[in-house]
Structure 1
Amino acid sequence: MLLKYFYDTGLAHASYMIGCQRSGEAIIIDPSRSVDQYLEAAKAEGLKIVGAAETHIHADFVSGARELAHRVGAKLYLSDEGTADWKYQNLEGLSAQLVKHHDKFYVGRVKLEVLHTPGHTPESISFLLTDEGGGASQPIGIFTGDFVFVGSIGRPDLLETAAGMMGTAEVGARQLYHSMLAFLELPDHLQVWPAHGAGSACGKGLGAIPSSTVGYEKLINPALQFRDEQKFVDYILADQPETPFYFAVMKRVNKVGPAPLSSLPPVAPIDPSQLATLATRELVVDTAAAKEFGEHHVAGTINIPTAMLQQWAGFLVNYEKPVYFITTAEALPAQLRALRSIGIDNVAGYFESSQTTDYRQASYSTIPPAELQAAIESGKLRLIDVRAKTEFDDYRIAGAEHHFLGRLFRELTTIARDKPLVTQCLGGGRSAIAASILEREGFSVINMQGGIRAWQQAGLPTVQS
């Protein structure tokens, strides 16, 4: 048996290839939309990908299961558990097997057994892996998807906070509690292979270690220590990360099926003479570094640096409208992969960055905290903290108003225009994006250099909740 690990750092997403060398076949667990990595790995190992399995209808990225079905005819293994609202659709013409609790399927001589582990979502399943080709009669590990993570457990509130299905968070939390109790009955030696690591919004406090064991999680995972259902519910529903708006889109896309990548039109360059006008009507995203954008940029554009594109575009791009980018032809393919991994397919064109110099007439200031302190404390400047609510609630600068970066477009009408603004986050990256958005909307804005971390390093005071 072969087990290969793949990790997308931008999405904190883990996927896996299981291969049976005897049969020359492989299956991918929870694949991303960028399937070339699996095809190349399988070829290198002398394997053919014959299947793709999902632990649930994912909310944080576009699944690559159907892409593998279109590309190589992979058979899909999909959950048939849960409510009618979250059943897979549009499977006609695809080889697909809908699976339930204790169903079994094989790749060569490697057995996968389905466990229904609801809570994160009603249809969530896990896969027990047994290498029968290697002579094993007992499982070696479990693919837990978004059920059990290293040091954490999946959040049960996404159907409510992302998909708007009110009243489902507590129901999910109680399902998750009973799934957790069932997990505790598994043998300690089982390896645990989750679908996410630290940084994912699918749970709180996820560990950065790629895998664990059932026994170790029983010892250290705080979510697995509860034996009182109500205390568990209270714990799991508190202090979850902000829910990205695009999660609702991803749920729908993965339920009905994304478009094959081959069907998407090419993204062509646009004459830069159209840039200034287009930026007044549509969303144009400049992918330059924050410092470069702050000093010189095209009025009306916003800034999401390439390294932050996958994390923040889903919050800030309207999925129902076309979006344009300022980038380079060399950087574009990787950027499109990042965007399409979260379902942003409506990229209408791009402007070659080197050809936009003459149009970069706008700028905003980036100023160290010590030079801003007096004006902030006297009320001459309005301080906008764009960190997550959990960060803001932990500690903040006195007088700061909280407007989470991901909600900024939606909260613009609640921000007063009576004085200049200072945007601030932890280290200056998120606040630079916020500054670009606020400037686009006509605010006078300054970005705090180095964020609240630099504020504290300068010896300036913060307050705690």
Structure 2
Amino acid sequence: MTELALLFRQITDPGLSQYTYLVGCERTGEALLIDPERDIDRYDRIAAEEGMRIAVVAETHIHADFLTGVREYAERPDVRVVLSKAGPPDWQYAWIGAGHAAYTLVGDGDHFTVGSIDVEVRHTPGHTPEHIVFVVTDRGSGADIPMGVASGDFLFVGDVGRPDLLESAAGAVGSMRPAAEQLQVSLGVVSTWPDFMQVWPGHGAGSACGKALGAVPWSTIGYERRFNGALTLAAESRTGFVEAILSGQPEPPPYFARMKQLNRDGVPLLGTLPRPRELSVAETVADPSLLVLDTRADRVAFMDAHLPGSLHAPATRQFTTATGAFVEPSASIVLVALEDQLDDLARQLVRIGLDRIEGWIPVDAFDAWHAHGGATSSIVRIGFPEAVPPGTDSVWVDVRGAEEFAADHVPGAIQIAQSRLAVEYGRIPRTHPVTVHCATGGRAALASAYLQRLGFDVRYVDDDFSRWRTSN
């Protein structure tokens, strides 16, 4: 019986619903790392635990939702970097050649090896023009057909990559329709792959890089051919596919444009993870240059009392959503947090380029400050039945997505997706109290804190939108 010579690990970032892949050759101890995030020490640790050395680091495309770790690995002379050469001049890697690593630029049909693992490169433009995927064959076990494909943001479980981000996030006007047409053509390659071939996607459910991603972490080509509606439509109708794939995509947060630019031009080197120092509440409140991110998960507790100017950034899967939408990279950040959450929170921040983590305040210290009468702010919390209807005495802001708003909304409400609020809040009048709602209260909580920080008089609707219909 032939033994597999390949080691495979899927490494998950729950906050961004992102997957990195470690594919190792058991015979040589060399490993390929695909699509790493910026805090690379965790990949090194996992590789070491498996008895592997990361020898090659590769990337499927220039990412929009996180900062790549490839630039960190490029500082190592014992690592080879593999990147796409397939994009147009505007979307080539400008930083290539920096650092000490050897690098290889690859295009459609190229191959490279890691130990006894063969990797075929296929150019799959559409999500981005330079996008490539990696088809992996375990030659060490005698295989001459591929085991799986690291599909990046080309093919997901239940969906395909969105082709609009260069235009909607990075400002490349007029690019989304040609990109959608390109994606439809690229998806034709799937028909050439065997049904049993595994699909190792770049993201799962919750990512903004698609609109209907499945929660299952991997799939097979055969399963996707049968049950992936976008893939089926691409095979049936170019026009139908283009119209469908460009409609209903979630609004991208403004930080996506910055990620694109930095990943193309060169991510600042991180080195070690920031270690924030413990601060007192008093010194934090006295320094107006600091931005407080209150990571308590209880939004009711936040609305009842928080440090003035704080943003609600719960230490849940919402954390990256909140910080990416509302925090500028120049901000000097202080976290109200539990000590055992600090490492994970720091990682989530640096993955989107928020490196200036100046300090942290223990939740217990904030509670004591509040209990002893220290200065705090609060936000009025109401349900739909108590809310004043839009009109002369109230402005309503609906922070759901455009598709949700189109399906049903409060007449007279202003629709601004929570992810776009930082660039569109100027549409909101300051003449009256602002009532903020979403579908179930989560996004509205983030938005309410942000608008209060900007000086708006906010009423937060902590309620299910279905109750608006029953109460009106």
Task: Give CA deviations for 1:365-424 in whole Å, capped at 9, x if unaligned.
Answer: 22233333xx32776443321112222222223443212222223333321233322211
* Alignment partners' CA distance in 2, 1:69 and 1:55: 16
Distance 2:122 2:424 in 1: 42
1:170 aligned to 2:177? yes
Partners of 1:34 and 1:337 within 8 A in 2: yes
Q: Which residue of 1 aligns with 2:104?
A: 97
Q: 1:13 aligns with which of 7, 14, 18?
A: 18
Q: What residue in structure 1 maps to residue 260 of structure 2?
A: 251
The separation in 2 between residues aligned to 1:32 and 1:191, in whole angstroms, is 23
Residue 77 in 1 paired to residue 82 in 2? yes
Question: Where does 1:164-243 land on structure 2 (aligned, <5 Å)?
Answer: 164-224=171-231, 225-226=233-234, 227-243=236-252
* Pairing partner for 2:61 from 56, 62, 66: 56
Instruction: State the partner residue of 1:316.
Output: 326
Residues in 2 aligned to 1:22 and 1:238: alpha-carbon distance in whole angstroms: 47
Corresponding residue number in structure 2 for 1:287: 295
Q: CA deviation at 1:296?
A: 1.2
- Please say which of residues 152-161 and 263-272 is displaced more in the overlay: 263-272
Q: Runs of 5+ in structure 1 lacking a partner?
A: none
SS of equivalent to 1:58: coil
Asked if the contact 1:49/1:72 (under 8 Å) is kept, the reply is: no
* RMSD value, Cα: 2.3
Task: Indicate whether 1:452 and 2:465 are aligned.
Answer: yes
Query: What is the CA-CA distance between 1:148 and the residue it aligns to?
Result: 0.8
1:328: how far off?
4.6
1:258-306 per-position Cα deviation (integer Å, ceiling 9, x unaligned): 2332267653344533433434x55332222322221112222222112
Structure 1 CA distance, aligned partners of 2:428 and 2:359? 32
Q: Corresponding residue for 1:341? A: 351
Name 1:27's counterpart in structure 2: 32
Match of 2:314 among 298, 305, 323: 305
Q: Does the Cα contact within 8 Å between 2:76 and 2:101 map onto a contact in 1?
A: no
CA drift of 1:131 comes to 0.7
Structure 1 contact 276–359 (Cα < 8 Å) conserved: no
Is 2:337 the partner of 1:327? yes
Amino acid at match of 2:142: G
Q: Which amino acid aligns with 1:2?
A: L
Q: Which segments of 5 or more consecutive residues in structure 2 lack a partner in the other structure?
A: 1-5
For the residues of structure 1 that align with 2:141 and 2:440, how far apart are their CA atoms?
50
From the superposition, tell whether residues 363 and 189 of structure 1 become closer, same or farther in structure 2 (CA, over 3 Å): same
Could you tell me how far apart the structure 2 residues matched to 1:44 and 1:18 are?
14
Q: Distance in 2 between matches of 1:378 and 1:63?
A: 47
C-alpha change, 1:72 and 1:46, in structure 2 (3 Å) is farther
Report which stretch shifted further, 65-74 or 100-109: 65-74
Report the TM-score, using the length of structure 2 for normalisation: 0.90
Identical residues among aligned pairs (%): 39
Q: Which moved more, 1:132-141 or 1:313-322?
A: 313-322
Q: Is the CA contact 2:322–2:446 (under 8 Å) kept in the aligned structure 1?
A: no
Shift in alpha-carbon separation, 1:454–1:73, aligned structure 2, 3 A: farther
Aligned to 1:140: 147
The alpha-carbon deviation at position 140 of structure 1 amounts to 1.7
Aligned residue number for residue 406 of structure 2: 393
Is contact 2:24–2:31 with CA below 8 Å preserved after alignment?
Answer: yes
Tell me how far apart the structure 1 counterparts of residues 14 and 379 of structure 2 sit (CA, whole Å): 30
Single out whichever of 3-12 and 302-311 deviates more from structure 2.
302-311
Partner letter of residue 208 of structure 1?
A
- Are the equivalent residues in 1 in contact too, given 2:195–2:221 (CA < 8 A)? yes
Indicate yes or no: 2:49 matched with 1:44. Answer: yes
